[in-house]
Amino acid sequence: MIKILAACGAGVNSSHQIKSALEEELSNRGYDVHCDAVMVKDVNEDLMKGYDIFTPIAATDLGFEPGIPVIEA
């Protein structure tokens, strides 16, 4: 399973749109995907350890290197 973390400023609208679009499209292409939507301010190194890809709505300075691919949505 591919685990994706989507993040936006409020963790409500944009990140949930990213989540829905990624889960639907990647599932249609045969991938086993799970995506969670969160607020950017809640993203930390421990949280990132549980994911394969990080998709913030915009370039974000997290204060640390994610260690996983970052794809700006």
For 6-61, how does the pLDDT look when each residue is reduced to its tens digit (9 = 90+)? Answer: 998 875 688 889 999 999 999 999 999 999 999 999 999 999 999 999 999 888 88
Identity of residue 63: G
* Domain residue ranges in the chain: 2-56
Over residues 53-73, the mean pLDDT reads 91
Stronger pLDDT, 66 or 73, i.e. the higher one: 66
More confident residue, 2 or 59: 2
Q: Residues 67, 5, 32, CA angle at the centre, nearest 5°?
A: 105
Are the C-beta atoms of residues 12 and 57 closer than 8 Å to each other? no
Q: Which of 7, 19, 23, 20 is nearest to 61 (CA)?
A: 7
Q: State the pLDDT at residue 47.
A: 96
Q: Give pLDDT, residue 13.
A: 84
Q: Is 58 helix (H, G, I), strand (E, B) or coil?
A: coil
What is the dotted CATH code of the domain comprising 2-56? 3.40.50
Residues sharing a CB contact under 8 Å with residue 18, sequence separation 6 or more, in sequence order: 6, 8, 35, 37, 55, 57, 73
